Copies of this chain bind each other. A is one copy, B any other.
């Protein structure tokens, strides 16, 4: 495989899987991804999960924890995913990444009474989107 020199580049499998997630209008589950990349020679779950792990690590995608599904970051990689917020429609299941500076600042500077210093947060809002309400 033609490999570029460094840092920002994704490996072959990572790129294939990122492209699929990035094109998708909805969060994708790991096995949905697997079925959709088998034609590209990715045959087994570990190949998918490894790529997903890496993509999450570098902030190219996020995991929607309440759905076990993955979306591409729409938000300059969220400072490597330290501060993520999503709106999730309980009816049509559409997920949008929220990018609200005030919200992000507010939560990033939130300090726990018990002396814990937070490095990261994930926030998931649920409701009905415009179309569904």
Contacts and interface: CB of A to CB of B under 8 A. Distances in A.
Given A65-B65, A66-B65, A106-B106, A119 B127 contact: yes
A78 B115 CA distance: 23
Stoichiometry, as copies per complex, reads 2
Most buried by B among A66, A103, A118: A118
Interface residues of A, number: 32
Nearest to A64: B65
Query: Which among A122, A128, A129, A133 has the highest number of chain B CB atoms within 10 Å?
Result: A122
12 contacts: A65-B65, A65-B66, A87-B118, A98-B112, A103-B110, A107-B123, A114-B130, A116-B127, A116-B129, A116-B133, A120-B125, A121-B123
